[in-house]
Amino acid sequence: MKTIVIYDQLMENPISFFILDGDYTHLDRVYINSDKKEKKQAELTAIIYDENGKEKVAFLDKFPRLENTYKVIVAGFLP
């Protein structure tokens, strides 16, 4: 199973996408930098960025073709 993340930055940048191996539906609607400080934000941050703030995932600018079974969630970063 894979999870497609629709990465939303609330109009700051165009919506982008990335794919994770596994089921990450528990991160649906989690936004990094929101007022809520929670473990899910830390988990999402660790998935996307390394300790120096560099991206660890490959961002896509077009929605990927669905060839297998995917879960789709929305998550992002609040400016």
Domain spans of the chain? Answer: 2-77
Per the CB < 8 A criterion, the answer to whether 74 and 33 are in contact is no
Q: What predicted TM-score, i.e. pTM, was given to this entire model?
A: 0.78
CA triplet 31, 35, 37: central angle to 5 degrees?
Answer: 80
**Residue linked to tokens 């982008």:** 16
Residue 76's DSSP bridge partners are 8, 31
> What does pLDDT average to over the chain?
87
pLDDT band per the 50, 70, 90 thresholds, residue 14: confident
Residues 6+ apart with CB under 8 A from 52: none
Residue 57 has pLDDT above 80, yes or no: yes
Residue 67 CA to residue 76 CA, distance in Å, equals: 24
pLDDT band per the 50, 70, 90 thresholds, residue 79: low
